[in-house]
Amino acid sequence: MPAITHLLYLHGFRSSPASAKATLMARAVAQRHPQVRWCCPQLPPSPRQAMDEVAALVADWPRERMAVVGSSLGGFYASWVARQTGCTSVLLNPAVFPARDLARHIGAQSQWHQSDESFYFEAAFVDELQQLADEGTHAPGPELALIAQGDEVLDWREMRDRYPDAQQIILPGNDHAISDFALHLDGVLKFLNLV
């Protein structure tokens, strides 16, 4: 696998680039792999708009030397990016059926890391998620899935079954946030094979 020179991180629902995992990864990449181009955008609530913006961000990235990491809904988005580009991906407790799961969250939502910031999750966004689930023509590149059996938000068995070809690390216990992500960071970085 060629060394990765471009790395995209996609946060989850109600999250942001200020999340613990995104912050840990940004710091580690900057310190250990300063040549890597790092991108961790704030994603808009509309899934279609989010993926349009991401596609524009990576449009000129070299497909064989890029990778994407995503957490929760960001894991679903990371899978979408991998199916569009054939790139390497790391999925952290990825949402498998976000159209089903987020249908009950239609309405006003607050951001986890900026509780004074809010957005409205529209019913149309559920349809956008379903459409994204069906898109993609490339076989994804190498995949790594970190799956916590103790995830209190998503069913770990659905994650395991959705990614049978991925290298899987099943974490006993743990939680949706993968609160001990710092312990798994070296393994993620090794898998990514960053320059």
Q: Please say if the pLDDT value at position 172 is more than 80.
A: yes
Sheet containing 37-39: give its strands across.
37-39, 6-10, 66-71, 88-92, 143-148, 167-171
d(CA 62, CA 186): 24
Confidence of residue 26 (pLDDT cuts 50, 70, 90): very high
Does the pTM exceed 0.85?
Answer: yes
Position 185 pLDDT exceeds 70 = yes
Q: Is residue 121 over pLDDT 90? A: no
Q: Is the pLDDT of residue 114 over 80?
A: no
Q: Which residue has the tokens 């900057």?
A: 30
Residue 94 has pLDDT above 90, yes or no: yes
What sections of the chain are H helices per DSSP? 20-32, 47-57, 73-85, 98-102, 123-133, 156-162, 181-192
Tell me how long the chain is.
195
Question: pLDDT category, 113, cuts 50, 70, 90?
Answer: low
CATH class of the region 6-192: alpha beta
Q: 171 phi and psi, to 5 degrees?
A: -95, 115
Given pLDDT bands bounded at 50, 70 and 90, which one contains residue 109? confident
